[in-house]
């Protein structure tokens, strides 16, 4: 992995084995991905971002949200 991503988070719950955490990603990762319906992705075939794909215009740079919610079952260690 070339780049490290940092995040700040807090979380607590009175129910011991179940935990809900809210995190804030300081620098969320960006990636080149497909933005469309599941049916568009099926229609696109094996390479939806290839030059011959009928849905190549739906391939664009995207990023993960700054806010992340994590649900955990089990004790922390």
Would residue 14 count as lying in a domain? Answer: yes
Average pLDDT over residues 3-13: 58
pLDDT at 26: 87
In this structure, the strands spanning 18-25 and 7-11 are antiparallel
pTM, whole model, 2 decimals?
A: 0.48
Residue predicted with more confidence, 7 or 21:
21
Would residue 22 count as lying in a domain? Answer: yes
φ, ψ of residue 15 in degrees (nearest 5): -90, 110
pLDDT tens-digit series, residues 14-72: 656 777 788 888 888 888 888 888 888 888 778 888 787 777 788 889 888 899 888 87
Q: What range does the domain containing 53 cover?
A: 7-73
Q: Distance between CA 24 and CA 7 in Å, rounded? A: 6
- Structurally, how many domains does the chain consist of? 1
């Amino acid at each position: 992995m070339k780049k490290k991503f940092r995040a700040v988070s807090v979380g607590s719950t009175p129910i011991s084995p179940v935990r809900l955490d809210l995190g804030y990603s300081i620098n969320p990762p960006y990636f080149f991905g497909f933005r469309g319906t599941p049916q568009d992705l099926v229609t696109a075939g094996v390479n939806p971002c290839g030059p011959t794909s009928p849905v190549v215009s739906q391939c664009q740079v995207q990023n993960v949200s700054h806010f992340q919610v994590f649900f955990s079952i089990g004790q922390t260690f």
